[in-house]
Amino acid sequence: MQAILTKNIKTFKHGVHPEEYKEYTKDLPIERMPFMDEIVLPLSQHSGSPSKPIVKQGEKVYRGQLIADSTGFVSATLHASVTGWVKVIEPRNHPSGQMVESIVIQTDRYSPQTLYDERELDWHSLSPQELLAVIQKAGFVGLGGAAFPTHVKLTIPEGKKAKFFMVNAAECEPYLNSDYRILLERTDAIFLGIRIYMKVLAAEKVYIGTETNKWEAIDTLGRRMPDDLPCEIVPLETKYPQGAEKMFTEAVLHREVPSGKLPIDIQVIVNNVGTVAGVGEMFKYGQPLIERVVTVTGPGIRKPANLMVPIGTKLSDVIDYCGGMNDNTRQILFGGPMMGAAQRFLDVPIMKGTSGILFLTDYQVFPREEYPCIRCMRCVDACPVFLNPSRLGALAKVRLYEEMPDYHIMDCMECGSCSYVCPSNIPLVQRFRVSKALLREKMAREEAA
């Protein structure tokens, strides 16, 4: 069926156009990764308080079984992604660089790995609150990277209304293709997810926004869109950081989310397309969030792929499955090149928020000498939230952190657009990350005093 296609290609103001490098994995269908011998499930792999184990060492667990409960409203449950035995519960290497308490499962090699509670859920018969409770129990978080618990996002504050629901499939980071493959291959799950979200939110209209480097996906969605779904597909200019929630909202609706506010303040809820598809499939098969699509890409990996990976699979196992690394690989990032986090250890697990693994070589990673600011103002033109990165960078360099809030440092979303365009190679975003962390610490100290 033909959906209503917006004729104008939309976007937000400012931003940058990095080289895309999508060709490594764009045409590779999602492939299912086998269940590896050891699975590591950190209790902290979402925004908010860590989950709490409800299983003990030596206990048999089944694929899809609840193994750790949430510890508050802003928290998420955790499920076993394989059938096996709890080997140990102990601190393990975490993609954040820290050691984090994790449930380690020894996989049962002889198990058929069927789901613990496989069944279709009749979402029609459930109230919005009951649907929300099912999503919460299934441990859903935003799969775009931030891993914010989905049930929190879908809980509308008193006095507010979510008139518009937006499916974020911008995938503006270079190299990554997991959202693109989901758009192509899990279209019906997306539509089912949209129906459930609409019922939870009582939303009147839905938008699916994706960039024009994904025309095949736009075409597929348009052809398969059910007639009764009040949903518009919005083609967006290919530009970074369009996937950031505020930029995405501005691009699709041409309405700005004010500083310090959330999309719900302008009647909008945004969710990543992978999360929406996952929720749809959960109601179809009863499968909680125990696996996700990960793009494994870059010049440093021998066989790039789009993989459906059981959450908790170790990075080293993904590397082996993809034929190993090339000899000149120098850096591994979880995420894309703009906002991805560099990894020090090969035994870190794939988490709920891991959208891609990027392997960079000598040619991409080399030390760059920093030069003085030449006041070219390219960073000002690039910043999507209209900050003055040049000024902020100068303050950070001389550690005048306390002056930075006057220049709205806390509005910086750490997108890296300013660093990307800076001809003097000034590590602006790195300095802003440190500055913000120090300022947050200072604020916490003052509040406690």
Contact positions vs ligand SF4 (CB under 6 A): 373-379, 382-383, 385, 387, 389-390, 393, 412-418, 421-424, 426, 428-429, 432
- CA dist., res. 234 & res. 210, Å (int): 6
Q: Which is nearer to ligand SF4, 351 or 382 (CB)?
A: 382
Cis upstream peptide for 174 (omega within 30°): no
Nearer to ligand SF4, 182 or 395 (CB): 395
Residue 78 Cβ, how far from ligand SF4 at the closest point, in Å? 31
Supply the minimum distance, in Å, between the C-beta of residue 397 and ligand SF4.
Answer: 10
Are 283 and 123 in contact by the 8 Å Cβ rule? The answer is yes
- Residue 280 or 393: the one with the smaller Cβ distance to ligand SF4 is 393
Residue 420 CB, nearest approach to ligand SF4 (Å): 8
From the CB of 433, what's the least distance to ligand SF4, in Å? 9
- Longest Cα–Cα distance of the chain, Å, equals 64
DSSP state of 257: P
Residues with Cβ within 8 Å of residue 159, at least 6 apart in sequence? none
Question: Which one, of 418, 413, 438, lies nearest residue 428 by Cα?
Answer: 418
Closest CA to 313 of 290, 344, 284, 342: 290
Q: How far is the CB of 247 from ligand SF4 (least distance, A)?
A: 10
Amino acid letter, residue 8: N
* Beta-ladder partners of 332: 359
Residue whose CB is less far from ligand SF4, 297 or 424: 424
Q: Which is nearer to ligand SF4, 154 or 422 (CB)?
A: 422
Q: How far is the CB of 386 from ligand SF4 (least distance, A)?
A: 8
Q: Which is nearer to ligand SF4, 275 or 417 (CB)?
A: 417
Output 142 or 416, the one with its CB closest to ligand SF4: 416
Question: Coil, helix or strand for 367?
Answer: coil
**Nearest to residue 252, comparing CAs of 143, 170, 140?**
170
Nearer to ligand SF4 by Cβ, of 300 and 389: the residue is 389
Find the angle CA(101)-CA(31)-CA(77) to the nearest 5 degrees: 30
Shortest distance (Å) from residue 343 CB to ligand SF4: 21
Q: Pairing between strand 99-107 and 84-93? A: antiparallel
- The structure tokens listed for 362 are 């000598």
Q: Taking the complex as a whole, how short is the minimal distance between the CB of residue 41 and ligand SF4, in angstroms?
A: 32
Helices (H), 12-83: none
Cα–Cα–Cα angle for 403, 260, 441, nearest 5°? Answer: 50
